[in-house]
A and B are shown apart, each in its own frame.
Chain A
Amino acid sequence: MPDPILAAEAVTAGYVPDLPILKNVSLAARTGQITLIIGPNGAGKSTLIKAVAGLVHINSGRILVAGREITGQSADRLASNGIAYVPQNNNIFRSLTIEQNLTLAARRAPAQTGVPLESLYAQFPALADKRRDKAGTLSGGQRQFLAIAMALAAAPRLILMDEPSAGLSPKAAQEVLEHARTLTAEGVSILLVEQNVNQAMRLADHCYIFAEGRNQLDGPAAELLNDPVVGEIYLGGRRVGAA
Chain B
Amino acid sequence: MIGVISYLVFFATTASILAIAVLGLNLQWGNTGLFNGGVVAFFGAGAYGTLILGGTPQAGHLGGFELIYPLALLGGMVLAGAMAWIVGLLTLRLRHDYLAIATFGVAVAFENLMRNAEWLAGGAKGVRGFERPLRDALGDGFTYNLIFFAGVLCVLICVYLFLERLVASPFGRLLRAIREDEEAAQSLGKSPARVRLTAFVTGSVILGLAGGLYGTFYAFVSPQDVLPTLTFQIWAMLIVGGAGNNRGAILGAFLIWGAWTASGWALSRFAPVEAQLYTGSVQFVLIGAVIVGMLLWRPQGLFPERLVVSQTGITPQKEQGA
Contact = CB atoms under 8 A, between A and B. Distances in A.
| Direct A/B contact, Cβ within 8 angstroms | yes
Interface of A: 18-19, 23, 212-213
B59 interface: no
Nearest to A18: B319
A212 B322 contact: yes
Interface in B279-322: 319, 321-322
A18 B322 CA distance: 12
Contacts of B322: 23, 212-213
Nearest to A23: B322
Nearest to A19: B319
Contacts of A18: 319
A104 B220 CA distance: 63
A212 to B, nearest CB: 7
6 contacts: A18-B319, A19-B319, A23-B321, A23-B322, A212-B322, A213-B322
A23 B322 CA distance: 9
Nearest to A21: B322
A213 B322 CA distance: 10
Interface of B: 319, 321-322
Contacts of A213: 322
A88 B322 CA distance: 27
B207 to A, nearest CB: 36
Contacts of A212: 322
A18 B318 CA distance: 10
6 shortest interchain CB distances as A-B pairs:
A18-B319, A23-B322, A212-B322, A213-B322, A19-B319, A23-B321
A19 B181 CA distance: 15
A160 to B, nearest CB: 26
A119 to B, nearest CB: 42
A105 B321 CA distance: 41
A143 B120 CA distance: 60
Contacts of B319: 18-19
A14 to B, nearest CB: 11
A236 to B, nearest CB: 14
Contacts of B321: 23
B152 to A, nearest CB: 45
B322 to A, nearest CB: 7
B321 to A, nearest CB: 8
B142 to A, nearest CB: 59
B18 to A, nearest CB: 39
A178 B322 CA distance: 38
Nearest to A213: B322
A73 to B, nearest CB: 28
A213 B321 CA distance: 12
Contacts of A23: 321-322
A194 B13 CA distance: 68
A151 B319 CA distance: 39
A178 to B, nearest CB: 38
Nearest to A214: B322
A144 to B, nearest CB: 28
Nearest to A20: B322
A242 to B, nearest CB: 10
A97 to B, nearest CB: 28
A212 B322 CA distance: 9
A151 B322 CA distance: 36
Nearest to A212: B322
Nearest to B318: A18
Nearest to B321: A23
A23 B321 CA distance: 10
A18 to B, nearest CB: 7
A44 to B, nearest CB: 11
A138 B76 CA distance: 56
Nearest to A242: B321
A19 B322 CA distance: 10
B320 to A, nearest CB: 12
A139 to B, nearest CB: 30
A212 B319 CA distance: 16
A46 B319 CA distance: 23
A170 B321 CA distance: 40
B318 to A, nearest CB: 9
A18 B321 CA distance: 10
A212 B321 CA distance: 12
Contacts of A19: 319
